[in-house]
Structure 1
Amino acid sequence: MADPLALGIVLGSGLGPLADRVVVRDTISFADAGLPSSSVQGHAGRFLIGSLGSREVIVMQGRIHLYEGHGAKAVTAGIRWMHDRGVRHVILTNAAGTLNESHAPGTWMMLADHLNLTGTSPLEGGPHFIDMTRVYDEAAAGEFQAVASRLGITLHQGVYAGLRGPQYETPAEIRMLRTLGADAVGMSTVLEAIQARALGMKVTAFSCLTNWAAGMSPELLDHSDVLATGKAAADEMLRLLEEWCGS
């Protein structure tokens, strides 16, 4: 069963169309919420307050990144904003490159764990020793896996490596990440997950696998391709979320 408390959803690159099915009661821009605006294409920079299926939701349409010149506290301000408004379970989504040859582009991966390789933390400034043994809620993961199976949606599970960006990784860096056990790589999510756990929130996260990581394909990486693949895969995630919200 879905958690009865308020649900927050963060939409990553190219996944803005997921918000189209939300019955919106109110829209608040990042600026009006006291957050920096996002400068990245595919990130609208606003909160949508309303409902998805039978659930009350706050949807964060877009996010702020370290590579835009912001610090870890600014990057995670949206998580704190949603928590202050009653969100106790946050679902994070992102676009990521796949490092796992069995996880093809165009499919989804649910995060089982992560590698924080950003070099920072939103908890800096004090002895905030938060246990990170189980960042991603195992009970919710089991529910989503069951829903995906029922709907015939391929849903991988794996380890996400969060880097600072904005440049994509080199083939040598990808080989390093594979050695470290990463299945996907991106430039977001890990700091938000850390902040959410520090606030006692449940966390679930999904990567839309938009492309093979550097060196795994002869194709060069381009942000427009990331956006296009994210939009094409958004329908599957929408079906998964709507079904889960109604369960």
Structure 2
Amino acid sequence: MIQEAGFRPRWIIELGSGFDTAAQSLSVSRSVPYSELAGFMIPTTPGHSGVVRFCIGSRGGAFFLCGRSHLYEGTPFFNIANAARIASITDAEGLLLCSACGGVGPYAGIGDIHLFNDVIRFPPHRWSHSERPAAETFHDRMPSPRKPLNPHFSNAVTDAARRAEVALNNGVIALVTGPCYETAAEIEALRRLDVSAVSMSCDPVLKQAARLGVATAMLGGIANIAGQPGKR
């Protein structure tokens, strides 16, 4: 992929629903559809274009992965985590995950952007034998650290948002498998856990990034309020 781009990326940025247009206003040297890249699955969820855009800015280059596949689409866990492996192979400084979310906390409003400082897996996903890479040590089989989101890289994202005059809220993201909205009882449970937003995306990538030692940050755009799926 570095050969196709013509440069080594400083960042890998994976864009979910609602974020695809962010890469369209940047200086793009080349775009490659997922269908031409080995190991990439073509997303079937609306708002995921399935294209890698190679972009260069004044502060460095980035690979924008526009769209992702999800567990609920039947995509194998391993294939969903391509962004983490690309960040590791290219020795990128950081991996930024962007996802549409449902607002849960009292300060989550539609259109707000949240920078998450921690994760709750609800319910936690377990690797199956077919999904889990061969591991030689117990540590390899238990990859997730106490802090899957890197505070130093998150601070860099905060600084970039401040320069761009983009307001960010902080909070905790609950990652669920989907593909369904949460019940009233689940939403209440998440509120009591002080969760600010919920998403059906990114857990496989976070797990793989932790296993590979990739510094990761996560942004979420509030697309709806949990319990009010029709309100956008």
Matched-pair contact (CA < 8 Å) for 1:93–1:207: yes
The Cα shift of 1:150 comes to 5.5
Render the CA deviation track for 1:102-138: whole Å, top value 9, x for unaligned: 1222111111011123523465654323251222121
Q: 1:30 aligns with which of 34, 38, 43?
A: 34
Is 1:7 matched with 2:3?
Answer: no
Pairwise mapping of residues 191-230 of structure 1 onto structure 2 (< 5 A)? 191-214=204-227, 219-221=228-230, 225=232
Q: Secondary structure at the match of 1:31?
A: helix
The alignment-based identity, stated in percent, is 23
Native 8 Å contact 1:114 1:190 kept in 2: no
Aligned to 1:46: 51
In structure 2, what residue type is equivalent to 1:11? L
**Which one of the candidate residues 162, 165, 170 is aligned to 1:157?**
170
Bigger drift between 147-156 and 172-181 goes to: 147-156
TM-score (norm 1): 0.78
Instruction: Give the Cα separation in 2 of the matches to 1:175 and 1:124.
Output: 36
Aligned mate of 2:92, from 78, 81, 87: 87
Aligned twin of 2:126: 120
Q: Which residue does the alignment assign to 1:135?
A: 148
Are the aligned partners of 1:72 and 1:120 in contact in 2 as well (CA < 8 Å)? Answer: no
- In structure 2, the CA distance between the partners of 1:148 and 1:15, relative to structure 1 (3 Å rule), is closer
Partner Cα distance (1:125, 1:179) in 2: 38
CA contact (8 A) 1:162 1:189 kept: yes
Long gaps (5+) in structure 2: 1-7
Aligned AA (1:104) = G
CA contact (8 A) 1:12 1:63 kept: yes
Give, in whole Å, the separation in 2 of the partners of 1:142 and 1:71: 32
Report the secondary structure of 1:96's partner residue. Answer: strand
Q: What TM-score do you get using the length of structure 2 for normalisation?
A: 0.83
Amino acid of the structure 2 residue aligned with 1:57: A
Residue segments in structure 1 that go unaligned for 5+ positions in a row: 226-247
> How far apart in 1 are the matches of 2:190 and 2:80?
23
Contact 2:181 2:229 in 1 (8 A): no
Partner SS state of residue 206, structure 1: strand
CA contact (8 A) 2:12 2:86 kept: no
Number of residue pairs aligned between Structure 1 and Structure 2: 216
> Quick check: 151-160 or 10-19, which moved more?
151-160
* TM superposition shift of 1:53: 3.6
Superposed CA RMSD in Å reads: 2.3
Could you tell me how far 1:26 is from its partner in structure 2? 2.4
Which 10-residue stretch deviates more, 36-45 or 151-160?
151-160
**Structure 1: which amino acid aligns with 2:190?**
L
